[in-house]
Structure 1
Amino acid sequence: MLFKGALLILLFFSGTLIAQERFVVYFDNNKFELNPLELVKLDKWILENKTSKIISITGSTDEIGSLGYNDTLSKKRVNFIYSKVIGKLKIREDFKTISLGEKGATSDNNAENRKAVIHYILEKDLHMEEEILGIKKEIKEEQPIPEIVYPEKLVFENPNGTKSEFKLDRAFMKKVGEAKSGEKIKIENLNFVINTFAVVNESRGKLYELLLVLQKNPSLKIEIQGHLCCMPIDRADLSTQRAKALYNFLLNQNISKDRLSYKGFGSSQPIYALPEKDEQERAANRRVEILIVNK
């Protein structure tokens, strides 16, 4: 992982970062292995920095010798240090070894130019690692979620072959589509033939409203809940059958059963206490609700 000719990177690492550390070892003339004293110094640093993270290693030489020779010697010095720390210390995934050769000679003392520098971050500063390295987090501009537009009306064919036009309740569809998990929403004006689970023709548009919401919100999962009025006991399980009627309609319109469930509660969850005082209270208790299971 050698990166040649990276003086600017070296300057960046050594001069502009606030909490970055440097450790330097020096080599004898024309050597790429450390002498015993410098090797002890390196081993001691390794033991003291088990929790630090290495960013890069740079190597340099003095200006004695040819440019090509010094480049090669610099690379060997870097590789030698790398072989000593690999597997012992944490190293960044984008870690670089940087060979500067004699271009890294910044001192009038040749002995000070024959070196390798380990750039690293202490454990206490790792939480600021990207800030220390000057890495700007890419801020993704949130794209606005396009508003779902529902049609104003729907024309459909009745079982007897006639056609009906139904003005859709766009506010209801929007409310269901934007509801949060756990919310319950009543389907207004959904009426059934008395004592049956058959939806009256005038209410069939309510089924299509629910269908449109599910089609335009593919992650939406719901439970259809049926409720009765008047009778303390739902002997015919009519509340369940009415909820199931909506469930079957949606299945037949290719809504996945994984997104649907149904349940009947009889008169066990009235809005108004039984017996109701008037038709208004009975109509409120006699209802179908949608429970938002998952968005």
Structure 2
Amino acid sequence: MFTKIHWFLLLLFYFTSIGFAQEHFAVFFDTNKSTLTPAENKKLNNWISTHSKVKIVAMNGYTDQDGTAERNDTLALKRVDFIYSLIKDKIAIRSDFKSISFGEKHLQLQEKSKNRRVDIYYILEKDLVRENEILGITEEIVVTKPKPELRYPDIFQVQNPNGTVSEFTLDVDFMQKLTKANAGEKLPIKNLNFQFNTFAITNDSRGKLYELLLVMKQNPQLKIEIQGHICCNASNKETLSTQRAKAIKMFLIGQGIENERVTFKGFGSTQPIFPLPEKNEQERAANRRVEILIVQN
């Protein structure tokens, strides 16, 4: 059943201020009925067949004064729902389509049968280019400012517990992509490797963690989900992929990134890029990956 939205003032504005460009069609019902007679059903089908390129903007349901006001309001809504069910797949309808059931709460016409109806308001094909103008809608222009080009270092140095210094070459291009990515985008962390069958990150992959860390620190609004995947085994070692994703999160948390900014999930081998079993090491490496899903940026 289509949801009833009581937006009387807006529709009143529609129908009084811009009615000159809005068309109207009505179908009528028998007493206490929410389905059409064969004659009215034929009339509706004829209207549908000759108006396939219009767009419906609203429907209003009405009843006569027989029965209680509450019952009539329900009956009026049922009538709108019934007409909507016949039309929805055949004629375009605005996404913010408004359905109102007035029941008996309207100016009753002298001819009683004319009060038991549904009014359909629509815009002709030739006027659709002026749709918002006709409906009195002012389009809001949203100006999206480009995200600033942040400067990241090519080299990052880390002092080890024994006093030595490790130097990592950073993938600045990846870091810029991560900085500019929109919510819903997913980026793989290339060349991030783990020791065989563990969640321990290899020493030559530690630079990938610092790339992610620097981006998170430079973009305090950024929230991510770390997604782990494994290769080779169709039995789906979800636990290992989860542990690998969690290991990356724990590194970020340990470096001062807030817990609520980072979530993690392991998919095992359920989402391979190449079908299992892989044909070569290149395909296995592609399936064995960690991806970053942008939750908020």
TM-score by length of 2: 0.50
Which protein is bigger by CA-based radius of gyration? 1
TM-score by length of 1: 0.50
